[in-house]
């Protein structure tokens, strides 16, 4: 497992970005092929036509959300893979920063960097940046 962190400067309000990190329809626009919220607690993310189940373990509206991935039986795992998004606003410059923390089985940092740069570019297109 590798913990990968990357920060992106975005010139947009956290209130505009945050729904794209939480709502299934918004997540489908940039993050996954399909996202289904089951029973208001389990997210079912589809990548390459494979299901990946996750729950939100931490959330602070307009600031932070963390998805921890479940096993194939939708059960919690010990030391689970996760994706965490943190939005920070610089009051000095009034610029938002999106920090992505990806703790996963992907171990190639170059591929992760390219993946997240591509995904965040899609996110920027969605929000009009």
Q: Which two tokens stand for residue 42?
A: 């389990």
User: What per-residue confidence (pLDDT) applies to 91?
Assistant: 78
pLDDT digits (tens, 9 = 90+) for 97-120: 999 999 998 889 999 999 999 999
53-99 residue pLDDT tens: 999 999 999 999 999 999 988 899 899 999 999 999 887 777 899 99
pLDDT at res. 12: 87
Q: Which two tokens stand for residue 7?
A: 């920060």
d(CA 120, CA 92): 24
What is the C-alpha separation between 3 and 107, in angstroms, rounded?
A: 9
Element counts in the chain: helices (H) and strands (E): 4, 7
For the chain, domains (ranges, CATH) are: 2-127 (3.30.530.20)
Residue with tokens 């170059």: 110
């Amino acid at each position: 497992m590798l913990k990968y962190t990357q920060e992106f400067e975005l010139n947009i309000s956290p209130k505009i970005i945050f729904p794209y990190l939480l709502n299934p329809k918004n997540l489908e626009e940039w993050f996954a092929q399909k996202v289904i919220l089951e029973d208001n607690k389990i997210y079912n993310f589809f990548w390459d036509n494979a299901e990946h189940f996750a729950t939100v373990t931490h959330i602070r509206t307009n600031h932070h959300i963390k998805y921890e991935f479940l096993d194939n039986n939708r059960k919690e795992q010990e030391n689970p893979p996760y994706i965490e998004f943190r939005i920070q606003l610089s009051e000095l410059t009034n610029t938002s920063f999106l920090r992505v923390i990806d703790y996963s089985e992907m171990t190639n940092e170059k591929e992760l960097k390219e993946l997240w740069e591509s995904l965040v570019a899609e996110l920027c297109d969605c929000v009009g940046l």
